[in-house]
Amino acid sequence: MKAKSEIKLILIFISLFSSGYSFSQKEMEYELFDSVISEKARVYKSNALFYKSTSFFLNKDWDSTLVYTMKQLNNPQKNREVKNYSHFLRGCSFNQKKLYKEAQKEFKLISPDFEFYFIVKMDLGEVALQLSQFKKAIAYYEELLSLSDNNYKYLKKSIINHNLGLCYLHLGEFKKAEPYLIENVKLEEQKEDTLKIILAYGNLANLYYEQYQDDLAIPYFEKAYQLSKKIKDIKTKHNSALNMAVVEENRKNFQKSLAYRKEYEQWKDSLNDQNKIWEVAQLEKQFAVKEKQKEVSLLQVENKAKIVERNGLFYSAIVLLVLLGTTMYFYKEKIKTNKIIVAQKERLDVLNATKDKLFSIVSHDLRSSVNALKTSNTKLLDNLEAKNLDVLDNLLHTNSAIVNGAYNLLDNLLNWALLQTNQSYFEITSIRLFFIVEQTVYNYKPLMLEKNIDFETKILKKDVVFADQESLKIILRNLLDNAIKFSNENGKIKIYTTHTHESYCDLVIEDSGLGISKTARLELLKDSAILSKKEHEDVIGTGLGLQLCKSMIKKNNGKFSIESELGKGTKMIVSLPKTAS
Exposure on the CB side of residue 338, measured as CA atoms within 13 A: 6
CB of 393 within 8 A of CB of 444? Answer: no
Q: pLDDT (tens digit, 9 = 90+) per residue, 285-336?
A: 565 556 666 665 776 777 777 787 777 777 878 888 888 888 888 888 888 8
Which of 161, 178, 212 represents a domain boundary (last residue)? Answer: 212
Residues with Cβ within 8 Å of residue 181, at least 6 apart in sequence: 161, 162, 165, 169, 200, 203, 204, 207
Q: Is 395 inside any structural domain?
A: yes
CA-nearest of 410, 419, 423 to 361 is 410
Within-domain flag for 237: no
- 201 and 345: one domain? no
| Structural domains in the chain (count) | 3
Whether residue 177 sits in one domain with residue 34 = yes
* pLDDT of 537: 46
Q: What value does the CA radius of gyration of the chain take, rounded to a whole number of Å?
A: 31
**CATH code of the domain containing 75:** 1.25.40.10
> Are the beta carbons of 85 and 113 closer than 8 angstroms?
no
Strand (E) or helix (H) holding 257: helix 254-314
Query: Is residue 257, in this structure, part of any structural domain at all?
Result: no
Domain boundary among 337, 371, 406: 406
Same domain assignment for residues 443 and 395:
no
Same domain, yes or no, for 343 and 467? no
CATH of the domain at 499: 3.30.565.10
User: What is the reported pLDDT for 508?
Assistant: 94
Q: In whole angstroms, give the CA distance from residue 69 to residue 65.
A: 6
Q: Are residues 328 and 391 in the same domain?
A: yes
342 with 457, same domain? no
Residues 391, 449, single domain; the answer is no
Q: Is residue 413 part of a domain?
A: no
Phi and psi at 488, nearest 5°, equal: -80, 165
In a domain, 142, yes or no: yes
Handedness of CA 87, 90, 94, 96 (dihedral sign): positive
The residues of the chain scoring below 50 in pLDDT are 1-29, 529, 531-540
442 shares a domain with 382: no
Closest among 498, 506, 496, 482 to 569, alpha carbons compared: 482
One domain, residues 381 and 454: no
Kindly state whether residues 141 and 170 are assigned to the same domain: yes
Half-sphere exposure of 202 (CA within 13 A, CB side): 33
* Residue 379 and residue 356 in contact, taking contact as beta carbons nearer than 8 Å: no
Residue range of the domain that includes 32: 2-212
Q: What's the pTM value of the predicted model, to 2 decimals?
A: 0.43
Q: Please name which of 177, 188, 189 lies closest in space to residue 21, comparing C-alpha atoms.
A: 188
User: Within a domain: residue 227?
Assistant: no
For the chain, give the number of residues. 581
Spell out the residues 6+ positions from residue 65 whose beta carbon is closer than 8 angstroms to its own: 53, 56, 57, 89, 90, 93
- Which of 190, 212, 234 is a domain's end point? 212
Q: Is residue 174 part of a domain?
A: yes
Closest CA to 127 of 74, 177, 90, 156: 90
Q: Provide the pLDDT for residue 275.
A: 60
Three-state secondary-structure class, residue 78? coil
pLDDT the model gives residue 417: 66
Q: Tell me the three state secondary structure of residue 431.
A: strand
What was the pLDDT predicted at 366? 67
First-residue to last-residue Cα distance in the chain:
41
Dihedrals phi, psi of 183, to nearest 5 degrees: -65, -40
Same domain, 26 and 77: yes
- 509 - beta bridge partners? 495, 572
206 neighbors 170 (Cβ within 8 angstroms): no
What pLDDT, on a 0 to 100 scale, did the predictor assign at position 63?
A: 92
Query: Same domain, yes or no, for 35 and 136?
Result: yes
How far is residue 194's CA from residue 189's CA, in Å, rounded to a whole number? 8
- For residue 441, is it within any domain? yes
